[in-house]
Structure 1
Amino acid sequence: MPSTNGSRPVPAHEVVIVGAGLGGIGAGVALRRIGVEDFVIIDKWPRVGGTWLANTYPGVAVDVPSPVYNFSFQPRSRWSRFFAPGAELQRYAEEVVDRQGLRGKLRLGSGAVRGDFDEEHDLWRIRLEDGSEITARYVIGAVGGLEQPHNPEIPGFDDYTGKVMHSSRWDHDYDYGGKRVAVIGTGATALQLIPELAKDVSHLTVYQRRAIWIGPKVDFPMGPVANAMLNFAPLQRTVRFLGNVGVNAGLGAGLAISDYPRVTSLGMSVAENAMKAWLFTQVRDPELRSKLTPDYRFGCKRPSISNTYFKTFTRPHVELVTDAIEHFTPTGIVSADGREREFDMVVCATGFKVMEKGYTPPYPIYGRDGLELGEFWDAHRFQAYQGVSVPKFPNAFLIVGPYAFAPGSYIPLIESTSAHAARVIKEARRRGATRVEVRQEPHDRYFARMDERAKKTHLFTQGCITSNTYYINYQGDGAAFRPSTQLEMYWENRHFPLDDYRFTTASVRELQEATS
């Protein structure tokens, strides 16, 4: 329970950050930059790292160059590879926590299960898994977008008696060596996992609904010389800047230049032909190559890179199945051609629930007038000002909200939205306000601008809706991405008009109500 100051409760903390992944860590650093020290970072996991702690499947690695995938305030110059394995990213998260002095701010092993805004006292009440409650003036939601596993909704799934694993919940105690294994899914996770599984299993069957666009992976060990060069600060900053520009261009250029559809289409055609050429060098069998060629335009789904994925399917004990899955049996899977294949283990590389009802957010959050955030988004579409704030949810900020992420590295996103939240909190402190809430008009203006831009992109104009892309949610919106450059994302989150928010104080409101 919060303490009291006279008759008014005082929250236990000024800020609660929900999530101790890179997003929550970045938010903590942003708060310290404005002089906020009374904050706590909570998480359901026993250690920091978020995605990089949860995902430990064989072959997991970052798909953005390691010298780019680090915070501007704490670059890392020691990587084992140009594309580092996931364990190194988790260790990097630990390093940031220690160097930035955040270790004492952590409360791990008990995540949030509900949030309620106390309108009378202008504070948030966060209920935790262990049954306790924590209060704070402000809350920053740093639960990542790739958080809630999406298991396939296939008849008979619960009847299967073999081992089942989702790629994000890997059971390292299970020995799959010499066993018959199935993988459902061929997205960015699967293309890292499949070549590793193929090394040890007796037979590997991959069920593909849609092929993925893949290019070569320019990966190499980062030896002492390369790491020493990156340790030279001016070079490190230059590499990081140019790398972020390149990644943003590679992953998000088509979304950022939606007003130039001919240029976008030409760029996609060039990329498609280059990736088809890469596939040709890896797979000479025309029938197999045809199965591995996407039937949708480049950019509809997040493309990826690999030097081993395609060649894995040329191995005699690896089978690619493109017939749809009809149902599970107690011992295996039946595909649309009527054939049943039996397995010892089934791996679901089926992604996450992104911008879906009941999962974004992953627990109920109640703002003013009893409005629940998930229900609001379900009824009125996913929306948030700069991807950070939603009307009727005072003193609350998001790190990865709707229309927040300009595709590229996640690090610039984290630094941008963290800076946004910190800037608002700093202004509220300056004004002595106890409540801050984004105004409806600027919020609606931003939502309309993003929605209009998104609907002009190739996702909606060149057939991407049928590609089963997570960029488009169940409402038919592109809320998972921000159709802009990361430069615009960076600038607007740091220079928005502060008058886009309404700053008020509980005591002043009470006086106004008493005299009205």
Structure 2
Amino acid sequence: MENNEIVIVGAGPAGIGMGILLKKLGFESFVILDKGRVGASFWQWPEEMKLITPSFTGQGFGALDLNAVAPGTSPAFTFQREHLSGQEYGEYLALLAEHFELPLAEGTAVHKLHKHDDGFSIETNHGIIKSKAVIWGTGEFQFPKLPFTGAELGLHNSKVAAWRQLKKGHYYVIGGYESAMDAAEQLASYGSDVTVVMPNALQENAEADPSRSLSPYTRERLEQAYEKGNVQFLEHVSVRKLTTNGAAYDLHLSDGRRIRSETRPIVATGFHSGAEQISRLFAWGEDGKPLLTKEDMSTKTEHLYLIGPSVRHQNAVFCFIYKFRQRFAVIAEHLLKKWDFALDENVLAEYRNNQMFLDDLSCCEVECEC
């Protein structure tokens, strides 16, 4: 494979969005690598799973679709859906890649990333690629957390092809946030009874920032299932260990209880940062996320940038598409200016006008008076 000045790893919303911006700026020496295809993680979602952020066409009034990764595009317009499925969103990303003629190398798995004085060498299943900079955007969905002994005996929610395929019964869902509540609601919608084993409590998930709490979309669906009596909660308790007992499963809880489940427990405990694949090239914070400069570059490795849901800056959490897309222009401006590349200020203005150029992190607290 030919060498490029920039290699973007990952062809999800972060990688595609970043590539579109580089194209718009006239920068051509880059490639987007993905071990699967464009939007691969979204194609792996359970078929009933939908984006929790609503899509809406409001560009004419200064409101870019929350799930768009480029100005002038809208998944809501394309699919006439407010909450898109994974397959629909994967198709949206593929349409963008084709429309903007992005340089893609699908089916290209990155095995190792090496830093040298003059740049990087990237070992792939198709050989070695060299670059001056790497923008890492592998996302998180491919890296499920299994945080307790025996967790692999359960069924992680990311491994479910379709909730309708699970036989009706009484399920224990382990976890206390979006993944767990979505699993509970989906199982209940197909007639199962569900007990959510959660280390927190529902009333604690009441912050205005949906990155730290449950989204209104999830709360609304969950309340309907709870009112029907299908969903119950065991709050302030964690699963310490999961074991098998014949054809059944035993959940060993932090309060000393042991609960028998006749169905395979659902493990919905979230995901690791995709940057853990190259963990030695980042310094890490106490929250398990990479430490970054104000331009989203690794504090440990020059010219290695991070995009996507693992981006953190103190109290600012960029785990949603409408958040992390605000950082594409910050990276592009910083990197290309360092290389004395002439930037098209009209493109940067377009991104700023569409709330896609957040370079002032002092305004990231979410506060609602009522």
TM-score tier after normalising by the smaller chain length: 0.7 to 0.9
CA distance in 1, matches of 2:25, 2:357: 21
Verify the 8 A CA contact 2:136 2:275 in the aligned structure 1. no
2:181 counterpart of 1:186:
no
2:278 counterpart of 1:364:
yes
1:41 maps to amino acid: I
CA distance in 2, matches of 1:412, 1:405: 17
- Aligned pairs (5 A) from 1:80-229: 80-102=80-102, 105-119=103-117, 122-128=118-124, 130=125, 132-144=127-139, 148-153=143-148, 155-157=149-151, 160=153, 164-172=154-162, 175-200=165-190, 202-212=192-202
CA distance in 2, matches of 1:337, 1:392: 43
Provide Cα deviations, 1:312-343, integer angstroms capped at 9, x if missing partner: 23445544333543532312123446343223
2:291 counterpart of 1:377:
no
Per the alignment, residue 344 of structure 1 pairs with 263
Change (3 A) 1:328 1:201: farther
- Aligned pairs (5 A) from 1:270-285: none
Verify the 8 A CA contact 1:71 1:411 in the aligned structure 2. yes
1:18 maps to amino acid: V
Deviation at 1:166, TM superposition (A): 1.5
Provide Cα deviations, 1:7-62, integer angstroms capped at 9, x if missing partner: xxxx7122110110111011111211232223211122x221255334x1254222
Per the alignment, residue 18 of structure 1 pairs with 9
Deviation at 1:184, TM superposition (A): 0.9
Change (3 A) 1:180 1:14: same
User: Where does the alignment leave 5 or more consecutive residues of structure 2 unmatched?
Assistant: 57-64, 343-353, 362-370
CA distance in 1, matches of 2:232, 2:358: 45
2:239 counterpart of 1:332:
no
2:180 maps to amino acid: A
- Aligned pairs (5 A) from 1:211-290: 211-212=201-202
Verify the 8 A CA contact 2:318 2:324 in the aligned structure 1. no
CA distance in 2, matches of 1:84, 1:404: 30
Other structure's SS at 2:204 match: coil
In the superposition, the TM-score normalised over structure 2's length comes to 0.74
2:18 counterpart of 1:36:
no
Which structure shows the higher helix fraction?
Answer: 1
Per the alignment, residue 466 of structure 1 pairs with none
Which of 57, 60, 63 does residue 49 from structure 2 map onto? Answer: 60
Which of 341, 358, 362 does residue 490 from structure 1 map onto? Answer: 358
Other structure's SS at 2:167 match: coil
Other structure's SS at 1:307 match: helix
Other structure's SS at 2:190 match: coil
User: Where does the alignment leave 5 or more consecutive residues of structure 1 unmatched?
Assistant: 2-10, 213-292, 355-359, 366-371, 433-485, 494-516
CA distance in 2, matches of 1:333, 1:97: 47
Which of 204, 217, 221 does residue 308 from structure 1 map onto? Answer: 221
Verify the 8 A CA contact 1:17 1:41 in the aligned structure 2. yes
CA distance in 2, matches of 1:364, 1:79: 36
Other structure's SS at 1:115 match: strand
Provide Cα deviations, 1:248-299, integer angstroms capped at 9, x if missing partner: xxxxxxxxxxxxxxxxxxxxxxxxxxxxxxxxxxxxxxxxxxxxx3388665
Per the alignment, residue 403 of structure 1 pairs with 313
Provide Cα deviations, 1:183-235, integer angstroms capped at 9, x if missing partner: 111311222232221133554332122233xxxxxxxxxxxxxxxxxxxxxxx
CA distance in 1, matches of 2:270, 2:330: 29
1:88 maps to amino acid: E
Deviation at 1:124, TM superposition (A): 1.0
1:57 maps to amino acid: P
Per the alignment, residue 349 of structure 2 pairs with none
Provide Cα deviations, 1:403-438, integer angstroms capped at 9, x if missing partner: 199457844544443223322443344379xxxxxx
2:333 counterpart of 1:420:
no
Provide Cα deviations, 1:477-496, integer angstroms capped at 9, x if missing partner: xxxxxxxxx96962459xxx
Change (3 A) 1:70 1:319: same
2:200 maps to amino acid: R
Verify the 8 A CA contact 2:250 2:259 in the aligned structure 1. yes
Identity of aligned residues (%): 22
Verify the 8 A CA contact 2:328 2:356 in the aligned structure 1. no
Verify the 8 A CA contact 2:20 2:70 in the aligned structure 1. no
Verify the 8 A CA contact 1:64 1:409 in the aligned structure 2. no
Change (3 A) 1:201 1:346: farther
CA distance in 2, matches of 1:404, 1:99: 36
- Aligned pairs (5 A) from 1:446-465: none
Other structure's SS at 2:88 match: helix
Rg larger for:
1
Which deviates more, 399-408 or 142-151?
A: 399-408
Other structure's SS at 1:191 match: helix
CA distance in 1, matches of 2:123, 2:99: 30
2:32 maps to amino acid: I
